[in-house]
Amino acid sequence: MKIGIIGLSGVGKTSLFNALTKSSASVAGGRNSAPNIATIRVPDERIDKLSDVYKPKKTSYANVEFVDIAGVIPGGAAQAAGENNLLNNIRPVDVICHVIRVFDEECEQLTDAVNIIGDIKKINDELLLSDLAMIESRISRMNLKKKTPASEQEQKLLEKLKAHLEAEQMLFTLELTPDEETTLQGFKFLSQKKQIVVLNIDEKYIKTDINSKYADAMAYLKKLDTPHIQISAKIEMEISQLEGDDEKLFLEENGLAEPGRNRLIRLAYDVLGNISFFTAGEDEVKAWTIQKNDNAHEAAGKIHSDIQRGFIKAEVVSYADFLEHGSVEKAKSAGKYRLEPKHYVVVDGDIINFRFNV
Ligand SMILES: Nc1nc2c(ncn2[C@@H]2O[C@H](COP(=O)(O)OP(=O)(O)OP(=O)(O)O)[C@@H](O)[C@H]2O)c(=O)[nH]1
Ligand SMILES: [Mg+2]
């Protein structure tokens, strides 16, 4: 999974990036700096537990890559110049994490009052304009070429998207058929990506739910169907420097149940409809990421095309049964396993052994 961090200048994107990835990228900023990129493993106590029991040679967590780009400068003109390149850095991501400044401190470029709705609109406008520019250039190139039934169909679809964007609607709000989705896959439109809004709050609100303070903004986000979380990037940076008991103590002192990293990653999984299943053995304990509603056959394909092709049955033990009985073997002895066919819909946390024959 890839998460792109975007936002206006000086809102705390790099601070958040550092906190999430335990990195130490410069928070001095700089307009033309290359994006910060780092991969971390997805914290999952289920994998920890499985690993404790199996003591495998290798433990493989799911990974998430974070990409932090320089601040987006509002305005179509900047967009047409170098700014387009900036946004291209987040074209490959699965989900956009949009950081909003909700701390009052004056930053170098930001002296305005907190304006959650205004900031969201500014960034979304840039995403929208970038997509519009891409569509317009594609259509004008298509107009120079000989038409085919396929190209005509694509053009019709692009015109539909264009109208949507011109009505100032993000593409993620447009219902598409699976065929249309396939046609558009290569474009990687920015306004089509799912978003999470990170409210980068002032440290003093760390123990306060700010929803009622910013009720208008919350209503606006709800209308956009965009989930949000509140995080203090500054506090999270401090947390990320700590380990083990020190971390635990600091979290407790600040009334936090866990680092913001965990909450953000969980939300990203949720927004993307991602779930995990596990394979466990003496060689390796591993987390696999699939989509909610994927079946056992599709899950097998994640591991290897041979396992998918030669699929016989999926031996499934639920994570709860594994926990209750202390090991997969004991759960099996207690009859807590199922032999599931191809069309079985995998449940988050399933521990699966695929029986296959090639
Ligand atoms: N008080 C407070 N200050 C913060 C917080 N997050 C970031 N800052 C400060 O805001 C300034 C900018 O932080 P960065 O993390 O570099 O922001 P950015 O969004 O990456 O900035 P650009 O990359 O230049 O757009 C720094 O001086 C930070 O110390 C926060 O949660 N609370
Ligand atoms: Mg930065």
For ligand 1, whether the C-beta of 98 sits within 6 Å is: no
Ligand 1 centroid, distance to 11 Cα (angstroms): 5
Ligand 2 centroid, distance to 109 Cα (angstroms): 12
Average pLDDT over residues 121-126: 93
Contacts of 343 by beta carbon, 8 Å cutoff, 6+ apart: 295, 296, 297
More confident residue, 104 or 65: 65
Which residues fall inside 5 Å of ion ligand 2, going by CB? 13-14, 29
For ligand 1, whether the C-beta of 36 sits within 6 Å is: no
Atom of ligand 1 nearest to the CA of 200: 31
Average pLDDT over residues 133-156: 92
**Residue 352 φ/ψ, nearest 5 degrees:** -120, 135
Q: What is the pLDDT of residue 111?
A: 56
What mean pLDDT value characterizes the chain? 90
For ligand 1, whether the C-beta of 232 sits within 6 Å is: yes
Homologous superfamily of domain range 293-356? Beta-grasp domain (3.10.20.30)
How far apart are the C-alpha atoms of 327 and 70, rounded to whole Å?
47
Distances in whole angstroms, Cα of residue 143 to Cα of each of 17, 138, 140:
42, 9, 5
Q: What is the pLDDT of residue 204?
A: 83
For ligand 1, whether the C-beta of 103 sits within 6 Å is: yes
- pLDDT exceeding 70 applies to what percent of the chain? 94
Q: What is the pLDDT of residue 72?
A: 87
Ligand 1 centroid, distance to 8 Cα (angstroms): 11
Lowest pLDDT segment from 56-60, 207-211, 271-275, 330-334: 207-211
Atom of ligand 1 nearest to the CA of 18: 15
**Residue 96 structure tokens:** 């956009």
More confident residue, 204 or 218: 218
How far apart are the C-alpha atoms of 291 and 49, rounded to whole Å?
23
DSSP characters over 19-85: HHHT----TT--TTPPPEEEEEEPP-HHHHHHHHHH--SEEE--EEEEEE-PPPPPSHHHIIIIIHH
Ligand closest to the CA atom of residue 20: 1
What is the domain partition of the chain in residue ranges?
2-270, 293-356
Examine the pLDDT at 81 and tell me if it is beyond 70: no
Q: Do domains 2-270 and 293-356 have the same CATH topology?
A: no
Assign a CATH topology to domain 2-270.
Rossmann fold (3.40.50)
Q: What is the dihedral of CA 14, 16, 21, 27, to 10 degrees?
A: 30
pLDDT digits (tens, 9 = 90+) for 210-267: 888 899 999 999 999 999 999 999 999 999 999 889 999 999 988 898 999 999 999 9
Examine the pLDDT at 76 and tell me if it is beyond 70: no
- Out of 11, 15, 87, 229, give the residue to mutate to test ligand 1, the one with the largest number of ligand atoms within 8 Å of its CB: 15
Task: Give residue 28's pLDDT band: very low, low, confident or very high (50, 70, 90).
Answer: low
Ligand closest to the CA atom of residue 231: 1
Q: What is the pLDDT of residue 24?
A: 83
What is the 3 state secondary structure string of 217-267? Answer: HHHHHHHHCCCEEEECHHHHHHHHCCCHHHHHHHHHHCCCCCCHHHHHHHH
For ligand 1, whether the C-beta of 29 sits within 6 Å is: yes
Q: What is the pLDDT of residue 80?
A: 52
